[in-house]
Amino acid sequence: MTSLDTGVKNVRNVGRFTIGEGSVSGVADLVNSQRTKASPNAVYLIDEFFENSNDVLNSLGMIAGDAKHFIKTAKEPTTQGIDDLVVALQSSGHKQPATIVGIGGGITLDTAKAVANLLTNGGKAADYQGWDLVRVPGVHKIGIPTISGTGAEATRTCVMTNLETGLKLGMNSDYTVFDHIILDPSLTSTVPRNQYFYTGMDAYIHCIEALAGSYRNAIGDAYSRETVNLCRNIFLSSDMMADARRSDLMVASYLGGCAIATSYVGIIHPFSAALSVVFGMHHCVANCVVLNAMSEFYPQAHSEFRKMIELQKVELPRGVCANLTDDLRQALIAATIKHEKPLTNALGTEFRATLTDARIISLFEKM
């Protein structure tokens, strides 16, 4: 038995999806079908980018009495931030809304998932960081991604950091999965190019890590292979943001999310998580910074990544681990090696024989 024998036996996919250019216009009907006499109002959690986008806001079917919160994206979700939002909703009379609509990037989608679970389960967000701790189904929830790559629209987790303990872990639960998602590629046309690349590469990275691991299954592999094919098609094309490519990336993100829900990541995500925990760097850009330094472990993906980033003229932060102090070195090592499951998947249970303290630090110093 290894630490990987638990956790990936059951796979639950999203209840339903609607896909296609313009499909976001269907959200009003979907929300209305959830409204009841007892719960007439919905909650809308909207990425702050759309605060002044009247076209998008008007298409969401909001009525008087619905709650609307714009989600800030400067920082990734914290357990405290989720708790505060739950209290705000409860105090404004939205204890049992008809549905929660999350529209935005991974931060907003994860916030919607966490809030939906907490409204019905009670307690604090930190109580549910882990596997299968959510006791009862959350409020009905609809996810509408507006940037593609993380697969947050497909997975059974919602990533949150507990700033008190430093734990960055989601509520991994069947109840965290969206009841309905709407995949409308017209929503991603406004994403800034660098951000589009970083987030899109999360789908590629999830799948090259899964395919290089030792804990595999046929369905996860099939999802992963198609995700990687789509990503090559997108990022090795002349314009990764052409209409057809944005549509492909929305599919790749969803399939990548399905892939990772049945398998594990590898070495890149643990290093990336350490950059997030120690320096507050966002998940997707951190992944790219790490892959850029991982030629020893993922030579083929590394050289493909270099081709993609040059072709798309994307800039990557450099020297992020320049001038490390002893304390920072220790913090980076600890935050990397605590991710035993993916490291075991990539390197076996004796992963510390390969990933010595000195090697970990020399990798960070290349970033």
What are residue 226's phi and psi, to 5 degrees?
-70, -35
The letter for the amino acid at 143 is G
Under 8 Å between Cβ of 309 and 197: yes
Q: Residues 23-60, buried b or exposed e (16+ Cβ, 10 A)?
A: bbebbeebbeebbeeebebbbbbbbebbeeeeebeebb
Using rule CB under 6 A, residue 152 touches ligand NAD? yes
**Segment lying near Zn ion (by CB under 5 A), choices 11-19, 53-61, 106-114, 194-202:** 194-202
The letter for the amino acid at 142 is I
* Total interface residues for ligand NAD by CB under 6 A: 32
DSSP-assigned letters across all residues of 249-264: HHHHHHHHHHHHHTS-
Using rule CB under 6 A, residue 155 touches ligand NAD? yes
In the bound state with ligand NAD, the residue whose beta carbon lies nearer, of 43 and 273, is 273
Q: Residues 91-113, buried b or exposed e (16+ Cβ, 10 A)?
A: eeebeebbbbbbbbbbbbbbbbb
Residue from 79, 117, 121, 150 in contact with ligand NAD (CB under 6 A): 150
In the bound state with ligand NAD, the residue whose beta carbon lies nearer, of 41 and 262, is 262
d(CA 8, CA 63) in angstroms, rounded, equals 40
Reported residue count of the chain is: 367
Under 8 Å between Cβ of 287 and 205: yes
Q: Which parts of 56-115 interact with ligand NAD (CB under 6 A)?
A: 73, 76-77, 104-108, 110
Q: What is the nearest approach in angstroms of ligand NAD to the Cβ of residue 191?
A: 4
Q: Which parts of 170-199 interact with ligand NAD (CB under 6 A)?
A: 187-188, 190-191, 195, 199
In the bound state with Zn ion, the residue whose beta carbon lies nearer, of 7 and 65, is 7
What are residue 133's phi and psi, to 5 degrees?
-100, -15
Using rule CB under 6 A, residue 117 touches ligand NAD? no
Q: What is the nearest approach in angstroms of ligand NAD to the Cβ of residue 200?
A: 9
Under 8 Å between Cβ of 298 and 212: yes
Of the candidates 198, 86, 218, the residue with the CA atom closest to the CA atom of residue 148:
198
Q: What is the nearest approach in angstroms of ligand NAD to the Cβ of residue 91?
A: 25
Using rule CB under 5 A, residue 202 touches Zn ion? yes
Residue from 44, 49, 128, 264 in contact with ligand NAD (CB under 6 A): 49
Q: Strand runs (DSSP E) across 169-285, as ranges? A: 171-172, 180-183
Using rule CB under 6 A, residue 34 touches ligand NAD? no
In the bound state with Zn ion, the residue whose beta carbon lies nearer, of 152 and 332, is 152
Q: Which parts of 276-295 interact with ligand NAD (CB under 6 A)?
A: 282-284
d(CA 166, CA 73) in angstroms, rounded, equals 19
Q: Which parts of 218-257 interact with ligand NAD (CB under 6 A)?
A: none
Q: What is the nearest approach in angstroms of ligand NAD to the Cβ of residue 223?
A: 14
Residue 106 binding result from ligand NAD, Zn ion, none, given CB thresholds of 5 to 8 Å by partner type:
ligand NAD
Of the candidates 263, 132, 240, the residue with the CA atom closest to the CA atom of residue 193:
240
Q: What is the nearest approach in angstroms of Zn ion to the Cβ of residue 130?
A: 18
Using rule CB under 5 A, residue 248 touches Zn ion? no
Residue given tokens 């030629």 in the structure block: 295
In the bound state with Zn ion, the residue whose beta carbon lies nearer, of 168 and 245, is 168
In the bound state with ligand NAD, the residue whose beta carbon lies nearer, of 7 and 65, is 7
Residue from 14, 86, 114, 147 in contact with ligand NAD (CB under 6 A): 147
**How far lies 97's CA from each of 38, 44, 80, 177, 261, in Å?**
9, 10, 21, 17, 28
Under 8 Å between Cβ of 194 and 308: no
In the bound state with ligand NAD, the residue whose beta carbon lies nearer, of 68 and 95, is 68
Whose CB is nearest to ligand NAD? Answer: 106
Q: What is the nearest approach in angstroms of Zn ion to the Cβ of residue 272?
A: 7
Q: Interface with Zn ion by CB under 5 A: which residues?
A: 202
Q: Interface with ligand NAD by CB under 6 A: which residues?
A: 47-49, 73, 76-77, 104-108, 110, 146-147, 149-152, 155, 157-159, 187-188, 190-191, 195, 199, 202, 282-284
